[in-house]
Structure 1
Amino acid sequence: MALNKHSKRLTQDPSQPASQAMLYAVGLTDDDMNKPQIGIASTGYDGNPCNMHLNNLAKEIKTHTNTNDQVGLTFNTIGVSDGISMGTSGMNYSLASRDIIADSMETVVNAQSYDGLIGVVGCDKNMPGAIIAMLRLNRPSIMVYGGSIASGKYKGRKLNIVSAFEALGQKVAGEIDEKEYREIIKSAIPGAGACGGMYTANTMASSIECMGMALPYNSSIPAENPNKLSEAERTAKAMKNLLEL
């Protein structure tokens, strides 16, 4: 069975010379033109710790996809940080962003005739958006969650995003001063990854893994754990297996 079920309409059809010329232009070889093409959709962007590392993860996945007899082609879509926009009019855009993500992933995969989709996601609406697209497409698909953030730390106490909210209450109640309040905020989130707790991101990731749309252990490997990058190879091999089914 041909693994390039969808992309061959562009790469093998003699009536599609312009399509083939453009694919050669992006670096595909004669050998690549016979391989399945996998869209790797990243919601990575600099403005949110949940998403700030995802483009690097997508790049690693592309590398392993290409070494597993597939052609990985990355593209990006939007994201909205609930943690940043919460309490402002920006939250009006959060739920709507889920549908934009789904629409954009579906659009690219269908328009470009990709044979499969790997969604690299990391925040609350990214994950359902990617899954909605995968269900609509009904093609081999895997979601890769970017992982949870590490705990923050202040005066020997572990912190997370909720600690920042609690600190405001403590300051208003007179339990801590302005200096301590600022230090807690600065220490609550130490780097890349989704909010550290069973909030929307980690809950969605766990649920999606249970449904079989993400690989085993994907939801539980933290964002900055070295094993997170090792998931790239597992994902590429799993996609090849899905194509062969």
Structure 2
Amino acid sequence: DAAFEAIMAGRIQKGDVLVIRFEGPKGSPGMPEMLSPGAALVGSGLGKDVALVTDGRFSGASHGIMVGHVTPEAAAGGPIGLLVEGDMVTVRPATRELSVALSDEELAKRRAEWRPPAARPGTFGVLAKYAAQVRSAHVGATTS
């Protein structure tokens, strides 16, 4: 929601990399599609100039510079969960590279300070069990 609002408010500019975290199978059971923010980028004329990076998923309807299913996901302690606003993220689609301009020391510091997020509102019962047991998106987001 915050990413969509930022796009619509004009706070996202050409050359930005928009990172949406905690949308993977653990962080957002069901792993929602990121169609709205992607469509908002295209609709605002930024589809070719702004990369969208997420641990959520995309469908075949998405257009632009989209990097989805990032694993390990933020809710599992993946590096995407260590990013903060202003970090210099680089996306190189031709070589399938995603990187951040942070030292190993800074990443280690952030990892030491990282804490798992609280469960999303509405994540209880079967969804809570799923979130606790689900495997990474790169192996199918299935339970064992």
Whether the TM-score (by the shorter chain) exceeds 0.5 is: no
Query: Which of the pair is proportionally richer in helix?
Result: 1
Task: Work out which of the two has the higher radius of gyration on C-alpha atoms and give 1 or 2.
Answer: 1
TM-score bin, normalised by smaller chain: 0.3 to 0.5
Given the two structures, how large is their TM-score scaled by the length of structure 2? 0.35
